[in-house]
Amino acid sequence: MTPPESTTGGADTVPRLKAAVIGAGMLGLDLAERLDASPVLSCELVAGRQSSASALRRAAQLGCEVSTEGITAVARAGVDMVFDASSAEAHPAHWAALASADVLLVDLTPSSGGSMLTPTVNAVRAESDRHLSLVSCGGQAVLPVLDAIAKNSERVEDVEVVTTVASASVGPATRDALDEYLAITGYAVERLTGATWAKVLATISPALPAPVFRAQIAACAYGIRPDALVGAVEAAATAVREYAPGFEVSALSVADGLVRATVTVTARGGRLPSYAGNVEIINAAAVTLAERYARSREVGHGE
Model confidence pLDDT, tens digit, residues 72-124: 999 999 999 999 999 999 999 999 999 999 999 999 999 988 999 999 999 99
pTM reported for the whole predicted model: 0.92
Residue 11: CB partners within 8 Å, gap ≥ 6?
none
Evaluated on CA atoms 112, 113, 118, 121, the torsion sign reads positive
* Separation CA 11–CA 166 (nearest Å): 44
Residue 2: CB partners within 8 Å, gap ≥ 6?
78
Q: What pLDDT digit, counting tens, does each position of 202-237 carry? A: 999 999 999 999 999 999 999 999 999 999 999 999
Residue 101: CB partners within 8 Å, gap ≥ 6?
75
Task: Quote the pLDDT of residue 288.
Answer: 98
Instruction: Give 8's pLDDT tier (boundaries 50, 70, 90).
Output: very low
Contact criterion met (CB below 8 Å) for 194 and 150 = yes
Residue 85: CB partners within 8 Å, gap ≥ 6?
21, 22, 23, 25, 27, 28, 31, 108, 109
Predicted confidence (pLDDT) at residue 144 exceeds the cutoff of 60: yes
Instruction: Give 277's pLDDT tier (boundaries 50, 70, 90).
Output: very high
Q: How many residues does the chain have?
A: 303
* Separation CA 169–CA 70 (nearest Å): 22
Average pLDDT over residues 234-244: 98
281, 254, 36, 38: which is closest to 144 by C-alpha?
281
Q: What pLDDT digit, counting tens, does each position of 145-174 carry? A: 999 999 999 999 999 999 999 999 998 888
3-state secondary structure of 224: coil
Task: Quote the pLDDT of residue 173.
Answer: 87
What letter does residue 253 receive in the DSSP assignment?
A: E
Contact criterion met (CB below 8 Å) for 117 and 289 = yes
* Separation CA 40–CA 133 (nearest Å): 21
Task: Quote the pLDDT of residue 300.
Answer: 53
Contact criterion met (CB below 8 Å) for 82 and 44 = no
Residue 223: Cβ-neighbour burial (10 angstroms; 0-12, 13-18, 19+): exposed
* Separation CA 200–CA 259 (nearest Å): 16
Alpha carbon 183 to its chain's center: 16
3-state secondary structure of 296: helix
List active site positions: 137
Task: Quote the pLDDT of residue 58.
Answer: 84
Contact criterion met (CB below 8 Å) for 84 and 22 = yes
Task: Quote the pLDDT of residue 274.
Answer: 97
